[in-house]
Structure 1
Amino acid sequence: MHDYFQFHSNLHSFRLFSVEHFLPMGIIIVLCTLLFIFRSKLTEKRKGRFLSFFLAILLLVSTTLEQTWLLYEHAWSLKRSLPLQLSDLSVILAFLMLLFRGKKLFQFMYFAGLGSSIQAILTPDLGRYSFPHFEYFEFFVSHGGVVLACIFMVLVFNCSPTLQGMWVTILIVNIYSGIVFFLNKWLGANYLYIMNKPKSSSLLDYLGKWPWYLLSMEMVMILSFYILYSPFWLKRMKKAGK
């Protein structure tokens, strides 16, 4: 049992697009679908508040357990363990968004939080933390929780992303990336993968060498944000045409 909690895992390397990858992705898709199906019931004040609080606590417990696990395994490090990756930071912000129903925070979370979490789920950087390691479950629970939180805000609290919100998010992400760059230089770290690419397979493998892949990342980010915004743009165009 201890093998499933070891920081230096002896398990096999996580395999992209294998059963252990498709299964959690499938569960997340099913849960998102159920949110959509039962959205009318969840708009009832009591049920909406309960699920919002449950999701918030789930995210808080998930990220707290990970930090506690790293400390227990004597593996916590300024170079690796700070929640500075956008998808990790999004877990904390999603908790605050659900707790306070922050509609301004939602604008950032819908684009940066949802976008980064989807990317993380599609190409996890898990190394040897494969099924059934603790980190495997924590990863998909936390990142899947962010996806559910953003969709929950849309379906239950009627939040809608805006084009202005998208460009403000792009500005914030770029400012944040600049700050993290200098933190990386100071700590000798690689948060946001600004200094070099991750060792595992990812989208960055197809975006050129450093530093050119940083520019490619910017283009991919803007394109992905437009894709996330497109359903709401189409909906507004349809209403305007009536």
Structure 2
Amino acid sequence: MNRYFDVNHTQLFTFYSPAHLSALSVFVLCLILLYVNRQRLHKSHYRKYGRFILAAVLVLCEVTLNIWYITQGVFRLQDTLPLELCSISLYLCVFMLLFNNRFLFQIVYFTGIGGALQAILTPALTFDFPHYRFLEFFIAHFAIMLAVLYMVWVEQYRPTFKSVGLAMAFLNVLLVVVGSINYAVGGNYMFLMKKPDTASMLDLLGPYPWYLLSLEAVAFVLFILLYLPFIFVARAQLSRNKLPLSE
């Protein structure tokens, strides 16, 4: 049992290994199931329980992660506080789900999907399956994206173009706050002080500190891309409404 939790576990994570691809496949299956059943869930009197279940999964991931940090003796201010973008998005998702909050959705639609998607495709992860950290990492990031898409597909929330600006503003305020904490505790949360040791998208964005500026541009482009489907859907609906009635 200890090998599933041991911080000195020696089986290292490998990008796009069978374990990684299997985890991604499970996520795709969950996406398909959620999308196929979106209308049924939307019309159900019990749809709020879907939100509560996702919130419970996110809380369980965060609580057990901190318990693991403490019991394994690796809790440190420098690198185990919930100050990564995905950790912050996780907390926002919990409040969004529990209180059905539209304002938080406007932010977490972009930060949650954008951050979690990058994380699962290029994980900054040491431990491989079946270690607890492997399972917690993927379950937490999958649940973040499923939570956001649950609000889109089941609760039928929609971001607006102003949401892109709101998410960018939130992100920049976050950079200042987290950057200040990094300076105070000697951390590297959100990789604001240096790139991660593992391969990531940041390797393509230039050296420190210039990759931070590149990351701003990438975030804006990504947020626009995430908003585009709603533009296309809105235009398609408008075109259908303008079609003349057949005689």
Q: Quick check: 1:3–1:10 contact (8 Å CA) kept in 2?
A: no
Deviation at 1:238, TM superposition (A): 2.2
Bigger shift: residues 15-24 or 147-156: 15-24
1:176 aligns with 2:174: yes
1:111 corresponds to = 110
Q: What amino acid maps onto 1:23 in structure 2?
A: S
Could you say which residue in structure 1 is the equivalent of 2:5?
5
Describe the superposition over 1:33-69 as per-residue Cα deviations: whole angstroms up to 9, x where unpaired: 1111011110134331221111111110111000011
Distance (Å, rounded) in 2 between the aligned partners of 1:27 and 1:112: 22
1:34 aligned residue: 33
Question: Which structure 2 residues correspond to residues 209-228 of structure 1 after superposition, within 5 A?
Answer: 209-228=207-226
Structure 1 distance, partners of 2:231, 2:161, is 9
Q: Name the CA distance, whole Å, in 2 between partners of 1:228 and 1:207.
A: 20
Please give the per-residue CA displacement for 1:116-163, whole angstroms capped at 9, x wherever unaligned.
011111110112x11111000000010000010001001111100111
User: For 1:180 and 1:58, how far apart are their aligned partners in 2?
Assistant: 25
| Residue 90 (1) aligns with residue 89 (2) | yes
> Offset at 1:91?
1.3
Q: For residues 158 and 229 of structure 1, what CA distance do their matches in structure 2 show?
A: 15
| Separation in 2, partners of 1:45, 1:238 | 27
Whole-Å separation in 1 of the counterparts to 2:27 and 2:54: 13
Post-superposition Cα deviations, 1:163-216, rounded to whole Å, max 9, x if no partner, equal 101111101101110111111111100000000000001001111100110011
Q: Counterpart of 1:184 in structure 2: which amino acid? A: N
Amino acid at match of 1:220: V
Q: Indicate the residue corresponding to 1:71 in structure 2.
A: 70
Structure 1 length normalisation: TM-score? 0.96
- Code of the aligned partner of 2:118: Q
Q: Matches of 2:8 and 2:224 in 1, distance apart?
A: 39
Partner-residue secondary structure (3-state), 1:46 = coil
Distance 1:169 1:2 in 2: 41
Mapping of 1:116-131 within 5 angstroms?
Answer: 116-127=115-126, 129-131=127-129
Report the Cα distance in structure 1 between the residues aligned to 2:235 and 2:211, rounded to whole angstroms: 34
Q: Which has the larger radius of gyration?
A: 2
**Counterpart-to-counterpart distance in 2, 1:43 and 1:237:** 23
* Partner AA of 1:82 in structure 2: L
Q: How many residues align?
A: 240
Matched, 1:237 2:238: no
Instruction: Please list every run of 5 or more consecutive structure 1 residues that lacks an aligned counterpart in the other structure.
Output: none
Post-superposition offset of 1:113: 1.1
Which SS does the other structure have where 1:29 is aligned? helix
Q: Where does 1:128-143 land on structure 2 (aligned, <5 Å)?
A: 129-143=127-141
> Could you tell me whether the CA contact under 8 Å between 1:166 and 1:225 is conserved in 2?
yes
Extract unaligned runs of 5+ from structure 2.
243-247
Q: Distance in 2 between matches of 1:42 and 1:235?
A: 21
